[in-house]
């Protein structure tokens, strides 16, 4: 509260909340985006054939950002990846000086898919005899109402792929339906040379034509709706309980910076806790990568192993929230910018929402005959939505009054499905069941088995940048000469090297994962710390030699710990498009660097295997997974003790 008052005083004195709200981690502004394009143009790096695959802020040095005070200006920079057919460059721009400070050639094959590449190869495929024949076999003599998309098929180490930027093109029939996703023209794939826009080959796995099951879910298609329930309205006072100025947020005893980037989505930075003393907890956290491998060996499916965040930056992963639906009515919203292949900025409205939630749960309680107490709790939620074609993910950062931060990911949207010749489970061939690699969700429609992995990069700075990672195993201790034969005890291991800190959650070998401060102890002599407490997750079932697993090697472990390096930002590497095995975490940690008494980054993966139910069709009820950053001896007592007793 003291900090908020201080800020408000500054605002009142200077008369400009906007100026005071500037923060060195603020996203690239509209003006900065155009400045980037002008600098590129002036330096002959840009023409109308240039494909820009990403633009992002180069953040100032971490120590400077922690030390930043309102009003102070730090250097601004931008990182740009651009491509001219087979040539690609990484370019650093100093925005303060308007100059290019670095220009490095990179492998063009691996830059992310540009927004226009989804349509490359369509003309070639639709005029290719084998593709035309495949369409005809399935009942399409006229491609007028088809949607065709070319997507990156990953990498399998084959001869065919060497040196090429390859895409796989498939079509769906949009005729008459609102929801074309299930109208897959199944088993017909054109392999495209993306630089030439030509068809390398057509693979046809015919299993029957298109069936007319619809999966529309609009109001008309679903009618009648259930009755509108009696109102249940959340009403807040004249102002919400949080202060949101620019990209900075103050709520209860928390303060942090929140921006939405094109690749990372919601980036939460400089998280501090405390009124009188704002203690650092987390320098930065965001969803670093999404990996979704499908589990059907057919040619049309074997290559659907999406490393979404890295491959589809150009798709514009973060899309508007629908006010009053995706967030409650009283939420506040913020826009953000993204860029298409031309590099021009576009406004994405309502991309972030913030709201307080009274869940109806107490923060704590104890009932005793003569002294019962309980304190109502509320949370602050910051939310964005990623949309990757058919799938939608809500990402929530939930700040709690008890010092915890819960990060939640809700999967919803439309499951990827396969059109099957067999109608359903009863009518399919017993010998070659159509649901061998999925599950029927409607007539002729099989939801295909798949998994999701979400890696969060968590740059914790617990009471400062010098931290240590502790794995506190709970181990059985046998007891001799005691009535009890055993107890469990804490066995603390400080992990000193990266390769000792590749960890999996395992119920038979429980352990606490903690980041300890090296410079501060609590009132009873323990180092202050934050614990990463996993929720439900999953382990990969792919064989170690399977390419998709090797390309997204971060899924080998639920947790990795690395020393801080500003250039290591994405779990599957900077360029996971058509990438070769071993990028990102496996590569960085191969050096087995020191992680003791240094600045640490945690990489946590939340996984889920999805065997699709009928209930997941045609739109999937949201399924939440979460993990918690939990104070452990960071405070001297329950920090929620001082919550007022009334709602």
Which 91-150 positions form the footprint of a copy of itself (CB under 8 A)? none
Q: Which is nearer to a copy of itself, 378 or 569 (CB)?
A: 378
- Distance between terminal CA atoms of the chain? 19
- Our finding on whether 326 is near a copy of itself (CB under 8 A) is yes
- How far apart are CB 204 and a copy of itself at their closest, in Å? 17
- How far apart are CB 104 and a copy of itself at their closest, in Å? 32
Instruction: Return the range that interacts with a copy of itself (CB under 8 A); candidates 52-60, 61-69, 130-138, 637-645.
Output: 637-645
Contact with a copy of itself (CB under 8 A) among 208, 535, 563, 581: 535
Contact with a copy of itself (CB under 8 A) among 69, 105, 277, 366: 366
Place of tokens 């000469």: 481
- How far apart are CB 334 and a copy of itself at their closest, in Å? 16
Site for a copy of itself in 3-42 (CB under 8 A): none
- Our finding on whether 233 is near a copy of itself (CB under 8 A) is yes
How far is Cα 543 from Cα 539, in angstroms, rounded to an integer?
Answer: 12
Site for a copy of itself in 237-256 (CB under 8 A): 237-241, 252-253
- How far apart are CB 438 and a copy of itself at their closest, in Å? 9
Place of tokens 């109608």: 423
- How far apart are CB 499 and a copy of itself at their closest, in Å? 20
Contact with a copy of itself (CB under 8 A) among 29, 43, 147, 179: 179
Site for a copy of itself in 62-91 (CB under 8 A): none
How far is Cα 454 from Cα 535, in angstroms, rounded to an integer?
Answer: 13
- Our finding on whether 425 is near a copy of itself (CB under 8 A) is yes
Site for a copy of itself in 451-490 (CB under 8 A): 451, 472, 474-476, 478-479, 482-490
How far is Cα 139 from Cα 19, in angstroms, rounded to an integer?
Answer: 62
219 CB burial (10 A radius; 0-12, 13-18, 19+): exposed
- Our finding on whether 493 is near a copy of itself (CB under 8 A) is no
- How far apart are CB 19 and a copy of itself at their closest, in Å? 26
How far is Cα 449 from Cα 436, in angstroms, rounded to an integer?
Answer: 9
- How far apart are CB 218 and a copy of itself at their closest, in Å? 7
Site size for a copy of itself, by CB under 8 A? Answer: 165
> Which bin fits 226, alpha (ψ -120 to 50), beta or left (φ > 0)?
beta
Q: Which is nearer to a copy of itself, 23 or 418 (CB)?
A: 418
The Cα-based distances of 234 to 180, 323, 440 in angstroms read: 36, 14, 40
Q: Which is nearer to a copy of itself, 206 or 488 (CB)?
A: 488
CB burial of 449-465 (b: ≥16 within 10 Å; e: otherwise) equals bbbbbbbbbbbbbbbeb
Active site residue ranges:
308, 391
Place of tokens 């929620």: 640
- How far apart are CB 354 and a copy of itself at their closest, in Å? 11
How far is Cα 311 from Cα 83, in angstroms, rounded to an integer?
Answer: 15
238 CB burial (10 A radius; 0-12, 13-18, 19+): exposed
Site for a copy of itself in 575-604 (CB under 8 A): none
DSSP 615: G
Contact with a copy of itself (CB under 8 A) among 151, 363, 561, 595: 363
Q: Which is nearer to a copy of itself, 140 or 547 (CB)?
A: 547
The Cα-based distances of 416 to 125, 171, 388, 412, 455 in angstroms read: 23, 14, 11, 12, 21
Q: Which is nearer to a copy of itself, 443 or 592 (CB)?
A: 443
Q: Which is nearer to a copy of itself, 42 or 609 (CB)?
A: 609
Contact with a copy of itself (CB under 8 A) among 541, 590, 592, 594: 541
619 CB burial (10 A radius; 0-12, 13-18, 19+): middle
Residue 199 — φ and ψ, nearest 5°?
-90, 125
- Our finding on whether 378 is near a copy of itself (CB under 8 A) is yes
Query: Which tokens hold the place of 129?
Result: 């005899």
Alpha carbon 634 to its chain centroid, in Å, reads 28
Q: Annotate each residue in 551-580 with x if it binds a copy of itself (CB under 8 A) or - if it does not, as one string.
A: ------------------------------
How far is Cα 2 from Cα 278, in angstroms, rounded to an integer?
Answer: 10
């Amino acid at each position: 509260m003291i900090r908020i008052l201080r800020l408000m005083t500054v605002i009142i004195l200077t008369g400009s909340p906007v100026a005071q709200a500037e923060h060195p981690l603020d996203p690239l502004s509209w003006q900065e985006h155009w400045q980037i394009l002008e600098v590129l143009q002036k330096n002959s790096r840009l023409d109308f054939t240039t494909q820009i695959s990403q633009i992002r802020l180069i953040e100032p040095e971490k120590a400077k950002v922690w030390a930043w005070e309102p009003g102070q200006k730090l250097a601004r920079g931008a990182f740009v990846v651009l491509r001219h057919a087979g040539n690609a460059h990484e370019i650093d721009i100093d925005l303060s000086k308007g100059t290019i400070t670095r220009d490095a050639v990179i492998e063009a094959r691996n830059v992310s898919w540009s927004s226009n590449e989804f349509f490359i190869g369509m003309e070639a495929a639709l005029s290719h005899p084998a593709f035309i024949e495949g369409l005809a076999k399935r009942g399409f003599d006229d491609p007028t109402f088809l949607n065709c998309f070319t997507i990156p098929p990953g990498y399998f180490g084959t001869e065919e792929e060497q040196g090429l930027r390859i895409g796989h093109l498939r079509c769906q029939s949009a005729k008459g339906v609102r929801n074309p996703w299930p109208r897959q023209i199944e088993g017909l794939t054109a392999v495209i040379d993306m630089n030439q826009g030509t068809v390398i080959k057509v693979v046809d796995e015919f299993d029957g034509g298109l069936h007319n099951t619809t999966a529309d879910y609009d109001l008309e298609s679903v009618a009648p709706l259930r009755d509108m329930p009696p109102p249940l309205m959340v009403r807040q006072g004249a102002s919400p309980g949080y202060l949101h100025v620019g990209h900075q947020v103050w709520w209860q005893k928390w303060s942090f910076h929140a921006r939405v980037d094109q690749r990372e989505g919601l980036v939460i930075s400089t998280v501090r806790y405390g009124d009188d003393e704002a203690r650092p907890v987390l320098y930065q956290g965001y969803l670093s990568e999404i990996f979704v491998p499908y589990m059907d060996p057919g040619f049309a499916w074997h290559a659907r192993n999406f490393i979404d965040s890295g491959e589809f930056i150009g798709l514009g992963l973060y899309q508007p929230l629908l006010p009053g639906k995706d967030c409650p009515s009283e939420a506040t919203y913020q826009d953000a910018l993204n860029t298409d292949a031309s590099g021009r900025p576009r406004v994405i409205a309502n991309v972030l929402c913030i709201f307080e939630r009274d869940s109806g749960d107490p923060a704590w309680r104890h009932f005793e005959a003569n002294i019962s107490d309980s304190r109502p709790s509320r949370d602050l939620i910051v939310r964005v939505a990623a949309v990757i074609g058919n799938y939608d993910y809500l990402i929530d950062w939930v700040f709690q009054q008890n010092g915890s931060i819960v990060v939640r990911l809700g999967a919803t949207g439309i499951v990827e499905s396969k059109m099957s010749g067999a109608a359903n489970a009863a009518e399919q061939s017993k010998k070659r069941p159509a649901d061998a690699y999925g599950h029927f969700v409607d007539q002729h429609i099989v939801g295909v088995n798949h998994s999701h992995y979400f890696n969060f990069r968590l740059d914790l700075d617990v009471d400062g940048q010098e931290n240590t990672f502790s794995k506190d195993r709970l181990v059985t201790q046998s007891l001799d000469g005691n009535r009890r034969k055993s107890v469990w005890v804490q066995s603390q291991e400080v992990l000193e090297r990266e390769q000792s800190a590749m960890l999996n959650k395992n119920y038979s070998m429980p352990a606490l994962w903690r980041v300890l401060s090296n410079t501060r102890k609590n009132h009873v002599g323990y180092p202050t710390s934050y614990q990463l407490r996993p929720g439900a997750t999953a382990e990969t079932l792919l064989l170690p030699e399977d390419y998709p697993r090797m390309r997204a090697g971060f899924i080998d472990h639920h947790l990795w710990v690395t020393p801080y390096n500003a250039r290591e930002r994405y779990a599957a590497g900077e360029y996971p498009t058509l990438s070769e095995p071993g990028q990102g975490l496996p590569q960085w940690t191969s050096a087995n660097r020191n992680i003791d008494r240094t600045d640490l980054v945690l990489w946590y993966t939340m996984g889920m295997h999805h065997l699709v139910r009928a209930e997941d069709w045609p739109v999937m009820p949201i399924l939440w997974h979460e993990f918690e950053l939990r104070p452990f001896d960071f405070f001297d007592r329950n920090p929620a003790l001082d919550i007022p007793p009334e709602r």
